[in-house]
Amino acid sequence: MGTLHPGVSGGTARFDPAVTKVRLRCERTDQDRESSAHERTRTGAETADVNNAQLDPGDIAALFDRSRLRMARELRGLTQVQLAREAGSVTAASVSQFEKGHTRPATATLQRLAVALRVPLSFFAAPARPPAQEELAGFFRSLRSTSPRDRQQALAYVHLARELALELEKYVALPTLDLPRVPLGEGPSLQATDIEQAATQVRRHWNIPDGPIPDVVRMLEMNGMIVVRFKVSIEKVDAFCVNFPDRPVIALGADKGLRDRSRFDAAHELGHLILHGNQSQIGDKVTEGQAHAFAAAFLMPASDIKHELPTQLDWPTLLRLKAKWHVSLAALLVRAKTLGVMSEHVYAQAWKALSARGWRKIEPGPLGNPEVPVLLQRALKLLETTGVSYSEFLRRAGLPEADVTTLLDRDVSERPRVQL
């Protein structure tokens, strides 16, 4: 049994789902949710901030934000030594001192760093908001297949996605963050029934009707999370999320061009945010299993799907359910076993058949392209209707255009067009 978070229930109180409902906590009240579910515009007059002013290089050096330097370096996948070499006239030790905040770069040094890092000089000016906590490391999976460099680069993109969202919010209202959390201490982990209940409560909280969820990514965006899908360059990084208190970001890999897998990934990351939002160490077997269990329960609620699942190995029925629920055959089989519909024996047979037919790699009944995040792109389009062009916005925000374009790229999930 899991214990409630200390301070919430007295630290060691047993959490019994039969007695106590999983407590869901909203980051903000949702009274404004209805009206802000769709982006609406704000007047440009509200947007005055430090970046709007024409800053000269000396001003920017005075406003230098060390976390921006590190972010830019990691976006480029450079070590401190490599950056020092690229920039010239600066040592790796100095770069390290700048990033730690022990010393600040002189204007000329900062200009060289900006050129070497291919970011506008204003990128280094401190944003008018508290910086992201440095310990927000992201909830990574498949760490073994990812090099630290790739991981840091992916993380830097996610930090940039948050910056982009916060900058956009100065002009257009994004959906209010409405992310319920299950308070969970460092103690024993949640049981399966707790996780099933949490998934049910999140669906209720977000007013998701019974049955399949038409678009998981859209559901996350409607509730204020930022979702990005990576381009090929960092495809080795699997899906992961970073629990920023203002705008949690979920990153989905580009390498899984499969709708069912991508939906499951998105639901899995949501599971981390909901179940493990207060924990710093994520990625072990237990938390991974919990996020998987959450995803399965969120996508396939027991009350809806239990009576539809076959007790025997029945591929036509499973394929029909795959098309209906937009989940993989593998996920359906696991769900059938978890819910006790399919015996261990039948499940083992099914898994053997799945392997023998090569269906663990490529399943029959493909569901098409993965879901596409739209929030950031739509916000940018809306921004342009307020009279602020894309390039003017980037200039004011001091964001590097190439990286923002990378973040917004949709090519990986769009079907190729037939040329006539």
What is the binding site for Zn ion (CB under 5 A)? 141, 288, 291
Give the burial string for 219-246 (b: 16+ CB within 10 Å, else e).
bbbbbbbbbbbbeeebebbbbbbbbbee
Helix (H) or strand (E) holding 114: helix 107-117
What is the four-CA torsion angle of 255, 261, 263, 264, rounded to 10 degrees? -120
Q: How far is the CB of 140 from Zn ion (least distance, A)?
A: 7
Closer Cβ to Zn ion, 264 or 325, answer by number? 264
Among residues 87 and 291, whose Cβ is nearest to Zn ion?
291
Q: Quick check: 249 and 225 in contact, CB under 8 A?
A: yes
Nearer residue to Zn ion within complex by CB, 141 or 170? 141
Q: Among candidates 243, 248, 202, which has minimal Cα distance to 227?
A: 248
Minimal CB distance residue for Zn ion: 141
Q: How far is the CB of 240 from Zn ion (least distance, A)?
A: 7
Q: Which is nearer to Zn ion, 90 or 241 (CB)?
A: 241
Q: State the nearest-atom distance from the C-beta of 86 to Zn ion, in Å.
A: 34
**Rounded CA separation 143/137 (Å):** 13
Q: Please, which residue, 99 or 288, has the CB nearer to Zn ion?
A: 288
Give the tokens for residue 55: 């800053």
Distance CA 87, CA 113 (A): 5
**How many whole angstroms separate alpha carbon 161 and alpha carbon 156?**
9
Closer residue to Zn ion, CB minimum distance, 224 or 283 = 283
215 vs 288, beta carbon nearer Zn ion:
288
Question: At its nearest, how many Å lie between Zn ion and the CB of residue 292?
Answer: 8
Taking the least distance from each CB to Zn ion, the nearer of 59 and 288 is: 288
Q: Compute φ and ψ for 232, nearest 5 degrees.
A: -60, -30
Nearest approach, Cβ of 290 to Zn ion (angstroms)? Answer: 9
Would you say 138 or 373 has its CB closer to Zn ion?
138
Which residues have CB under 8 Å from 314's CB, separation 6+? none
Distance of alpha carbon 157 from alpha carbon 161, whole angstroms: 6
Distance CA 170, CA 42 (A): 8
CB of 283 to Zn ion, least distance (A): 6
Instruction: Identify the helix (H) or strand (E) that includes residue 69.
Output: helix 66-75
8 A C-beta contact, residue 168 and residue 380: yes
Minimum CB distance to Zn ion, residue 318 (Å): 25
Q: Shortest Cβ distance from residue 143 to Zn ion (Å)?
A: 10
Query: Which residues neighbour 297 within 8 Å (Cβ) at sequence distance 6 or greater?
Result: 195, 196, 198, 199, 200
Q: How far is the CB of 145 from Zn ion (least distance, A)?
A: 14
Check if the beta carbon of residue 178 is closer than 8 Å to that of residue 264.
no
